[in-house]
Amino acid sequence: MIEVNLNNLWKELPPDVKLVAVSKYYPVEAIERAYKAGQRVFAESRPQDFAVKVEQLPKDIEWHFIGHLQTNKLKLVLPYASLVQSVDSRHLLDAIEKWGKDNDKVIQVLLEIHIGAEQTKQGFAEEEALDILFNADKFPHVRFRGLMAMATNTDDESIVDADFARIDSFMAYLVDLFPELEGFDQLSIGMSGDYKIALRHGATMVRIGSAIFAEQ
């Protein structure tokens, strides 16, 4: 049995910060319990699981995709995702634009920025994101809504704090530089272990899994 803890988070998060419940490790029954408690925004990270859960769960859920997305899996995700948070390569962005064109749909995305210390982390360097946004008009079927990032995986809060401070100021810089990018206003930072730090650095969405769903 998986217990669902939402009340404390709802109390703790400012009203303008969206709680994205990361349900990737949890079964449909646990998501249903969170839904019944009132949660409406969920995120998955594997295309196959995403498609299956979307199919089985209520239609008014707002689904986000937060995992690595291979271009041959777009059709499992793009018809249902309100937001693809994890656009991490130019190749993927080009494929999303093409899918949107072919399916007459505009896909809302966040650009995932590499901020953590780990080389293995996905995401764009800041210069790459800048280059994409300078050329945003080449992607008429993509709506750029902001940035997503994961901090360095460490217990050292000062490192996490520095990571989030950096992405916060990069976001502010972009908002300033691209006033014509309507709706470019979302900063998705903060997970179960570091969302309190993210809230101090302009998070508009937090992505929380293990602090909500607990194995009993």
Least distance in angstroms from the C-beta of 106 to ligand PLP: 23
Least distance in angstroms from the C-beta of 175 to ligand PLP: 22
Which one of 160, 197, 198, 208 is in contact with ligand PLP (CB under 6 A)?
Answer: 208
192 binds ligand PLP (CB under 6 A): yes
- Other CB atoms within a 10 A radius of the CB of residue 193 amount to 15
Least distance in angstroms from the C-beta of 118 to ligand PLP: 13
Which one of 191, 198, 203, 205 is in contact with ligand PLP (CB under 6 A)?
Answer: 191
Angle between the N-to-C axes of helices 157-177 and 126-134, in degrees from 0 to 180, rounded to the nearest 10:
20
Q: How far is the C-alpha of 205 from the C-alpha of 186, rounded, in Å?
A: 7
CA dist list (Å): 86 to 5, 68, 192, 199: 25, 7, 18, 20
Output 66 or 171, the one with its CB closest to ligand PLP: 66
24 binds ligand PLP (CB under 6 A): yes
171 contacts 136 by C-beta, under 8 angstroms: no
53 contacts 31 by C-beta, under 8 angstroms: yes
Using Cβ positions, the residue closest to ligand PLP within the complex turns out to be 209
For residues 170, 173, 175, 178, the Cα torsion angle rounded to the nearest 10 degrees is: -120
Least distance in angstroms from the C-beta of 44 to ligand PLP: 9
66 contacts 148 by C-beta, under 8 angstroms: yes
Binders of ligand PLP in range 62-121 (CB under 6 A): 66
210 binds ligand PLP (CB under 6 A): yes
18 binds ligand PLP (CB under 6 A): no
Binders of ligand PLP in range 115-154 (CB under 6 A): 150
189 binds ligand PLP (CB under 6 A): no
7 contacts 214 by C-beta, under 8 angstroms: no
Which of 87, 169, 99, 95 shows the shortest CA–CA distance to 129? 87
Binding site for ligand PLP (CB under 6 A): 22, 24, 45, 66, 150, 191-193, 207-211
